[in-house]
Amino acid sequence: MSGKRITPEETARVLMECDRFLILTHRRPDGDTIGCASALTLALRACGKTAYAHVNPELTPRYARFLQPLYPPEGYVPDTVVSTDVPSLSQLPDNAMSYADAIDLAIDHHGTNAGFARLYCVDADAAACGELVYAIIRLLGVPLTSAMADALYAAISTDTGCFRYSNTTARTHRIVADLMDAGCDAAGLNFTLFEMRTPARVAIESAVMRGIVYYAGGAVAVARVTRALIDATGATEDDMESLSSLPKRIEGVRIGVTLYERHEGIKASVRTDKTVDASRICALVGGGGHPRAAGCTLYNTSERDAMIEDAETVILDAVRRTVEDLPWTT
């Protein structure tokens, strides 16, 4: 890591000393990166700062309400660039790459954060980056508005699977209680983020579940999301959110792998129980993430002739090398 690591208290002081902010989010933005960027932008404005969230071209309708109203005017030039929930420069959207060498502060909860910013505040024990941003906002001393609370709830609830994942802690629930006291619409957000399904989502989810293949006596489950399946169902990025959690929900599955065939290559998302470190599996093939949830790119655009079956072989080999007690039959 080339940057300097600082505490949440130091982060709050840095934010108060700076102005003219631009907040960056990551590629294929989820609720955590969007919620953090939204809440932090609003908090900085409440401090009397000029702050905007950078345009994310991959923003989906599910999260548009949080970010789009905070986009900067044309020609805006920031003095301070901050990233939220971005573990590495490779995760920046293409339109943010011009800021790659100018990021002043990275706020993140990935233990694998590459330290690309001048300063970085990382809490790998946080269930979501939203927990860290919440702490920083409280240190800024501004009142927690309902808009900030909604954004932080979206951040924390999505990264904890609506508080079902093992990363959920007592601290998580205490923070959420404070968000609800601040006026967060928890029930409405729960429906929008976790219950509502489009017809395309129902179609692709059903197809993915029917196509799951089991290995190692059912301890490993692999789902394939092919380009043909996406086209046939008409699924959008919004519809495909959280598909990665499906294989791991099956009884007896310790390691769930979801393979995505995308225009830029084949990617894998790995979800595991507490006996297996997902980040170790993905690290073997150039990826990373969290102990229970990680990912990697198995083939990029230059290797587009590689088949999804090849990617499955590669990731299963990484599983074999990482977990020695699985009952493989061959």
Query: In 124-198, which ranges are continuous DSSP H helix?
Result: 129-140, 146-159, 170-181, 186-190
Parallel, antiparallel, or unpaired for β 265-272 and 288-289?
A: unpaired
- Which CATH code is given to the segment(s) 199-322? 3.10.310.30
User: Rounded distance, CA 122 to CA 267, Å?
Assistant: 25
Q: Where are the domains of the chain?
A: 4-194, 199-322
Residue environment code for 25-48, b if the CB has 16+ CB neighbours within 10 A, otherwise e: bbebbbbbbbbbbbbbbbbbebee
Per-residue pLDDT tens listing for the chain (330 residues) = 479 999 999 999 999 999 999 999 999 999 999 999 999 999 999 999 999 999 999 999 999 999 999 999 999 999 999 999 999 999 999 999 999 999 999 999 998 888 999 999 999 999 999 999 999 999 999 999 999 999 999 999 999 999 999 899 999 999 999 999 999 999 999 999 999 999 999 999 999 999 999 999 999 999 999 999 999 999 999 999 889 999 999 999 999 999 999 877 899 999 999 999 999 999 999 988 889 999 998 876 555 556 889 999 999 999 999 998 999 875
Q: How far is CA 253 from the centre of its chain?
A: 23
Q: Report which secondary-structure segment, H or E, holds 296.
A: strand 293-299
Tokens 């046939």 belong to 232
User: Rounded distance, CA 194 to CA 186, Å?
Assistant: 11
- State the Rg of the chain over Cα: 20
Give the pLDDT confidence score for residue 133 in this predicted structure: 98
The residues with which 53 forms a beta bridge, in sequence order, are 23
User: Rounded distance, CA 299 to CA 281, Å?
Assistant: 16
Helix (H, G, I), strand (E, B) or coil at 197: coil
Residue environment code for 220-236, b if the CB has 16+ CB neighbours within 10 A, otherwise e: bbbbbbbeebbeebebb
The residues with which 21 forms a beta bridge, in sequence order, are 51, 80
Name the nearest CA neighbour of 155 among 67, 235, 278: 67
Name the nearest CA neighbour of 211 among 323, 308, 317: 308
Burial class (CB in 10 A: 0-12, 13-18, 19+), 200: middle
Question: What CATH fold (topology level) applies to the domain 4-194?
Answer: inorganic pyrophosphatase (n-terminal core) (3.90.1640)
How far is residue 192 from each of residues 59, 129, 165, measured CA to CA in Å? 16, 21, 19
